[in-house]
Amino acid sequence: MAKTGDTRLAQLLDALDEAFDRMSWHGANLRGALRAVKPVQASWRSAPGRHNIWELAVHAAYWKYAVRRKLTGEARGTFALEGSNWFARPVAGDADPAGSWRGDVRLLIDEHRRLRQAVMTLDPGRLDQRVPRSKYSAAFLIRGVTAHDLYHAGQIQLLKRLQASGKG
C-alpha cells in the first residue's frame, strides 16, 4: 500500500468524522445538530409535507447504510427499517415517542460506526476505482456521504431556529 493512499484514506476518515461527530471549524456537525433535541422538537414540521428533524436523522442513517453497502458489496434489504431513503416518523403530539427518537438517533450513530469501519478496511489503492454495481468511486461515495451529513446538519439547525422563532 502506498503511503499517499494511506494518507488519503486517513483524510477521508477525518472528513467523515468531522461531518458527523468530531470537532470542526464550520459549526455544528450532524450529531452536534441533534444534541439535546427532544422528541417533540424532532417531530415538528415547518409546513405540511416538509420533512422534520427526525426524518432527516433517519434519512442520514439510511444513506450511511447505502454507502457502506456499496463499499462492501453487502446485499440490499439489510437496513434496520423497512423501506428506503425517507421514513415516516412520529408527528408532534404522538404518545411517548421518546424511546423511538432515542432509538433512531442510536441507529444513526451505529450506521456511522459501521460505515467508518467499512471505510477503514478499504484498500487505499482502490479509492479511485469504480465500486462494483455503482457508477462512482469509493472516494466519491465517501466524500458524498460526508457532504450529505453537513447538508442535513445545516437543515436541522435551520429547523431548530425556525421552530424556536414560532414561525413556520
Question: Over its length of 168 residues, how does the chain's per-residue pLDDT go in tens digits?
Answer: 334 568 999 999 999 999 999 988 888 999 999 999 999 899 999 999 999 999 999 999 999 999 999 999 988 888 999 989 999 887 665 555 557 999 999 999 999 999 999 999 999 999 999 999 899 999 999 999 999 999 999 999 999 999 998 876
Cross-strand pairs, 137: 130
Distance in angstroms (rounded) separating the CA atoms of residues 9 and 3: 10
CA distance 145 to 66: 9
The predicted model scores a pTM of 0.91
